[in-house]
Structure formats: structure tokens, C-alpha cells
Structure 1
Amino acid sequence: MNLASATLTEANGLGWVLVVAAVLVSGLLLAGPTLRRRYPVTWWLLLGFPSVAFRVVQTWRPLMAGCGLAVSRRPALTVVSGLVGKGSPPPQPRVPRRGLMHPTSGGFVLLVRLLPGQVPENFVKAASAMAENWQVHAVRVTSWKPGVVRIVASAADPLAAPRLPKQRGPGQLLRVTVGALETGAAWVLDLRRVPHWLIVGATRSGKSTLINALVAGLAPQPVALVGIDCKGGMELSLYEPRLSALATNREQAVRLLAALVDLTLDRMNVCRAARVRNIWGLPDKERPVPVVVIVDEIAELFLVASRNEKDEAHAAGTALIRLAQLGAALGVFLVVAGQRVGSDLGPGVTALRAQLGGRVCHRVADPGTAEMALGDLNPDALKAAQAITPEQAGTAVLASGDGWERARSHLITEAEAEAVAAEYAHLAPVLSELHVEAL
């Protein structure tokens, strides 16, 4: 009797567990649309990711076979012989072994070990099929280490409406969150890690928005901002209250760049006297202020119509190259932007491009500009940039020696950028070395 009672109690307990589980699941399903709209990350972790993970497990073997990524365990003739002579079923093919799926805020990451004879390009070609089978927005495959690829899936397009994270205080020095990556992570420009950047993009592609986001993030920091805008200051004059110097034509730009080179050489002497390799090795009280030089519309510096302009263009290009070569260790950082950047502007542009390790390519009007920005780093990044449509304003491909990503900058309007510059105008360092009054 006691055994029967215990069994009945266990059955009742199991029944209640099932009822509670059913109620919870039903509640989640009913609240799913609201939860997804208001708390997308929570919805993804509770409902989206488990369902996608189930699809991945269920479709893995047939997907690998359909994409030509499965390998027969026995030679083809042996299999056919077995089928004809003995009627035995064909052996299950070997498929690449996958690791555990790790959820992210809007997708998942999966490591896969390659079979002998396979290369990462085989999986890159199958990325579209993976996204279709798993019913996710996009799948991107990259090489993780020899013999292993990394699959990153995005459930939805995180670039559709990137959210600006709340930032308190100035944040880490020379490190600014400017948008969102396709993986859902924050797009961070870290000038200490990648000191010099080339940003290209056609009109209304998002180039100016990215510069707005960068300046807005640097404005509260103890850095000097220097602007070179040879289109009469039409773009960078918005930030003039926060700038330590601004050149609005090529003549002024040549003088300002020469002053920046002299400033860099002076810092080199200071570091040599202190027996340190860069300014970061100096004591805090002796360390000079970092200088971020923003050059808008680089073509205006290099286009020439006369011999005199040719000399100015050569001087500007030489100074920029010297700053790029010496500046990283001495606290001078370059952000060079332009609608069109091509080898037709002269050899100085190509030499400068080689010194700018970080690249951002928005939609461009000519393939040569995309080639100049990304062609020497990664052919896949170049293809991704050329696929950006006019409707995807703000979307860009960023690349460096570490690889490439699709990203989108936060929308910061001109009025917002102007307000930020005015708010932090008191933080603009006065650098007498730049001879601001002479410009």
C-alpha cells in the first residue's frame, strides 16, 4: 500500500511539473511578440536561440551532405558493391564535427573542425545555405585556427537600427563606441590599438555620420582635436569650439601639417631624453596630450591645377605620410576621410594608404575607391563593400590586420555634434606649437 501511495505521489508530482512547464511555455509563446519587440535579447535567449539550436542539430548532417561537406566512410566502389551483392545500406558519411553553440545577444557562435582535405573556403560558400536552413538573417564563416572554422549567425539584422549604448563619463582614453557590428557587438574605434584610419564613402553614405560619432565620443576626453577641411570648413567647422586648430584651405593645411610634424619631432626628442619608446612610457604629469587629426575630403589636398598647387599637394602628402609613420608612438593619430580616394590622385595617396592600418568603406560611387580602401587587405571585404546599397546609409565594411566586419554607425545629427562640441569646448587644449593664430 505504501509503495502504491509513493508511486501515486511521484506521478502526481511529475504531472504538476508537466503542467507548470506547459503553462510557462504557453505563456512565453503568447507573450513572444511583445517580448521580442520590447526585450529582444531576452526573447532571443528564452525562445529564439533554443528553436534555432534545435534546427541546427536536426539539419546538420543533411545540410553538410547537401553542401558537399560530408565524406563517405568507404570508397564509392565498395559501397556500390555492398549494395548490389549484399543489399546492405550505405554507410553514413562523415560530417565535420561541430562544437557547442554559444548564444550571443542576437545570434550564436559555433566552431567546426574540418575534415581532411577541407579548407575554410568550402564553408564560406555554404554560408547562404546555412542561413536558409537555420532560418536566420545571415551566417558568416571565418578561419579560427588551422583545421577549425568559426561560424557566426545573426538571427536578425543588427544593423537595421543600432542602439546607442549609454555611456557615463569620458570612457577609456582614445576608445569610442561609434556604432554596432553585424554580430550585434559594439563597434569600437580604439586609436591606441589601430592608430590611423581611412574612411571613404559617397555623399549620403554615412561617412559624415561616422565622423560625428567619433568626434562626439572624443570630445569629453583629454585629447586635442585638429581639423583639416579644405572645402572651406563646411564639415569640420561644426566642431570648431572643441578643435585646437582648423585649416580650411590647402595653404593653411600645409602650414598646420608642418607644425604637426614639428610637434611630433619635439615629442621624439622628449622620449629619447627620457629613454622611453613612446609617450605612454612617460610619467603622467610629463606625458603630452594626444592629438587626433581629422582630415576631411583628402582629394582636395592632392588635386592640382598648377605648378604651385603641385608643390603644396606634395608638401601636404609628405607631411601626412610622416605623421602616419611617426605619430602612433608619439600620440598623434590620423583619421583621413574622403568621397573618392584613388591612385589617380598621385603616388602620395597610395603611400599614405599603406600607413593607415584601419579602413572603413561605406557605399562608394566608383570601384576604385573601394579597391583603394580594402583591396590590399581582404578580397571578401571588398566584395561586401561593393554590395552596399543606397538604402543602407550608415552601413560600412571595416577592415584591419585583424580581419573585417560589416557595421553601421550611430546616427548623430549635425545639431547634436555641434551641441557636443560646444558643451566640451572648455576641454580643447591650447597647443602653441600649432601656431593656431597664424592659420
Structure 2
Amino acid sequence: MTISQRRRLRRAEVELAPRIGLIRPTRNGFRVSIRLHDGQAPEDYTRVLDRLAHAWRVHSVRVLSWRPGRVTLQATSRDPLTQVRIPVCSDGLLRVQVGLLETGAPFVVDFRLVPHWLIAGATQSGKSTLLNAIIAGLAPQPVALVGFDLKGGVELTPYADRLSALATTRAECAALLADLVAILGDRMRACRDRRVRTIWQLPEQVRPTPIVVVVDEVAELYLMADKSEKEEIAKTSTALLRVAQLGRAFGVYLIVAGQRVGSDLGPGVTALRAQLTGRVCHRVNDPETATMTLGDLDPAALAAACQIPPELPGVAIVSGGDGRWYRARSAYISEEQAEQITKAYAQMRPAWADLKATPAAPVNPVEPGHPVIEQPAQAA
């Protein structure tokens, strides 16, 4: 038998004790690098994370990273999401620090990295609190905020001083979406004339203002009372999908939120979901909403979303730019606090007529770390 044959026939041992490397302490626990035995893979450790947490007497253990032959685990000694005291702040242009991840790292919504977000959550799950934090963090930034509020405007009207446009009926939503599609067309032509692919490659003096579109209760856009609404719903769905498909390159970003998001609302919902890379799933009342939000990402994320307790509002399963999922909790920002912030920065609101003109106002950088509001202690 040759040497190469003996190597191919080597026995693969997968049920061996881990070879633990140097243990590095962190703020909420420790981090350890483990050398894999022959035949082992990171999935072997993913399956036994709960057992490792019990063996090490910590709150949780998760796979942090891996490379050939090694896997890095992070153990958390206590749950950092029990109380979230981190302040909501602007973390750069189109970046908002809105809370904490279970690893103790900041929970950041970065539209330059992940342009579109789907946020699902039942009543009292913390969905509105997360929207408040995002709006409060974007208020001091040189961006335009546009609202679609199919609850008659009760959710987003308090922030009207900072919103460049607000639609509260399906007819208004259709008209506003038509304007957004026209804006995308103008920006597309501006980029084509200068032979660039995105607005971020344009000179600052002609770069249009970024637009963040907040859609609250997306199911209302698709619900049909009778067949007479079918054509209007189809137009609205097509326009919203077009904004999602073209928005990233031309500075239009989406936040789509709802209590109920399911494929039964229509084929347009599934097509829209495919464009929303960022996913946030709070506690939901039906498993299909959790499946619609997280089911195409990771079965483990779906299982974790179904275990969120009602006594921890704001806790959610988050999937973002690195392609992995985390437990996270948004900082508590009340409606009154968010309203005060939007009124304080009302002068930052671009006029809707100016946004429809090309080119729009130039974009100026934002000082990172500028606090929006200091976060008080959050009770469980």
C-alpha cells in the first residue's frame, strides 16, 4: 500500500474531545479557538452548542468564525439583552446603532451595506420601538424620510415634521410609489450620462439625497376586499418591487414592516421578500410570518424566533450583512422621544418637490458616534 493510499484510508474520528486553544476573556464571557480533529467540521460544534453551554456553565455558546482546521467559539456568561442601556446614535451616513446583539456588539442598521430590511413582529413585540430607533437615528442625517402608513397614519404622523412625504391610503401610496419610480428613472439617467453605476460614484455637488422609505403594515397594501381593487393592488405591488430592485444603486432604501407577512397575501409579497436582505423577526403570532421572514435563511434562526418570550419586548432574530443570524434587542425609544427628535431636526427635511428634481442637494458626511438620545435602563 502506497503512502497516498494510507492517507486516504485514515480513520475519521469525530466524537473526540475538542482540542482547546488559548482562552481570551471578553466583556460578557470568553472566546476560545478550537482545533478540529480529522473528519470534523464546524457543523459538529454547531449541533452541540447547548451541551457546551451547560458544560461550561454559561448562558450561551455560539460559533463565531471558522477557517480550515479551526473554529472559534464565543461563550456569553450572562444574557446582555436583559437590559439594553446603549444609546441610539448616528454611526455614519445611513448607519444607525439601534441596540445590542447577543454577543455584546452593537446592533447596527447599515443601509449602505444592507439596503433593504424586512421587520416582522406582533403587537407589543417591539417592532414599533425598533422603527422609532431607526427614525430617530436617521433624523439628524442628510437623508430624506418617506412614510407609507396604512393604519390611517397613526404610526408615522407624529414624525411628519421630518418626513418629506407621507401616504396614509392605498391611493396615496400608489401615487407616492409612482413618484419614487420616476425619481429612480431620473437618477438612472444621471448615472448613465456620467457613465457610473451608482449615485455614490457621482461628484458630491450633483449627488442626489438618499431616500429611506418606511412601509408600516405592508399587508394592507396587498389585502383585497373585492375584485375592483385587484388592478390597483397589482400596480402598487409592481411599483414597490421595482423600488426594491433598483433602489440600492440609486439611493432609495426600504424598511418594510408588518405584523403579518405571508405568501397568501399574493405573489408580489414573495417577490418583494427576495429583495429584502436584512431580516428582523420579533415575536410573531403565526409560524408562517416567521417562516416568511427567516425560513429561507437558516432553520436554526427560525427555531430561535419561535422561542422569543413575550416578557422581553424588543428581542428579535436578526440577519444582516455577514449572512449570519443573531439574537438582538433594540434600545427603548418611546414614541414621544422619537417625536421630539424628529421635531428638533425638522430643518433637515428635504422638500418632496426638490427630491423630484435632478440633481438634488449634495450629501455631506455625518460625524460618526453623534448620540441621538441617551438610553435609560430597560426593564425585562
Partner of 2:5: none
Structure number with the bigger relative contact order (C-alpha 8 A, sep ≥ 6) is 2
| 8 Å CA contact retained: 2:23, 2:32 | yes
| 8 Å CA contact retained: 2:88, 2:99 | no
Partner of 1:141: 63
CA distance in 1, matches of 2:153, 2:80: 34
Matching of residues 398-437 of structure 1 within 5 Å: 398-400=318-320, 402-432=323-353
* Structure 2 stretches lacking a partner, 5+ long: 1-12, 357-380
Partner of 2:135: 215
Identity %: 57
| 8 Å CA contact retained: 2:148, 2:215 | yes
| Aligned amino acid, residue 172 of structure 2 | Q
Superimposed CA distance per residue, residues 392-438 of structure 1 (whole angstroms, 9 cap, x where no aligned partner): 21000011462111100000001101101111111100121678xxx
Partner of 1:179: 99
Partner of 1:61: none
Structure 1 position 143, deviation (Å): 5.3
| Aligned amino acid, residue 188 of structure 2 | M
| Aligned amino acid, residue 59 of structure 2 | H
Partner of 1:374: 294
SS in 2 for 1:328: coil
CA distance in 2, matches of 1:150, 1:316: 46
Quick check: 1:102 aligned with 2:20? no
* Structure 1 stretches lacking a partner, 5+ long: 1-67, 72-94
CA distance in 1, matches of 2:76, 2:87: 19
Q: Relative to total residues, which structure has the larger helix share, 1 or 2? A: 1
SS in 1 for 2:37: coil
Partner of 1:270: 190
Partner of 2:84: 162
Partner of 1:321: 241
CA distance in 1, matches of 2:212, 2:159: 13
Superimposed CA distance per residue, residues 269-292 of structure 1 (whole angstroms, 9 cap, x where no aligned partner): 000001111000011111000000
SS in 2 for 1:330: coil
Q: Relative to total residues, which structure has the larger strand share, 1 or 2? A: 2
CA distance in 2, matches of 1:330, 1:106: 40
CA distance in 2, matches of 1:172, 1:308: 46
Partner of 2:34: 112
Structure 1 position 70, deviation (Å): 4.5
Partner of 1:49: none
* TM-score w.r.t. length of structure 1: 0.75
| 8 Å CA contact retained: 1:120, 1:142 | no
SS in 2 for 1:316: helix
* TM-score w.r.t. length of structure 2: 0.87
SS in 2 for 1:187: strand
Structure 1 position 238, deviation (Å): 1.6
Partner of 2:217: 297
CA distance in 1, matches of 2:69, 2:157: 51
Q: 1:306 aligns with which of 212, 216, 226?
A: 226
Residue range with higher mean Cα deviation, 314-323 or 337-346:
314-323
Partner of 1:335: 255
Partner of 2:115: 195
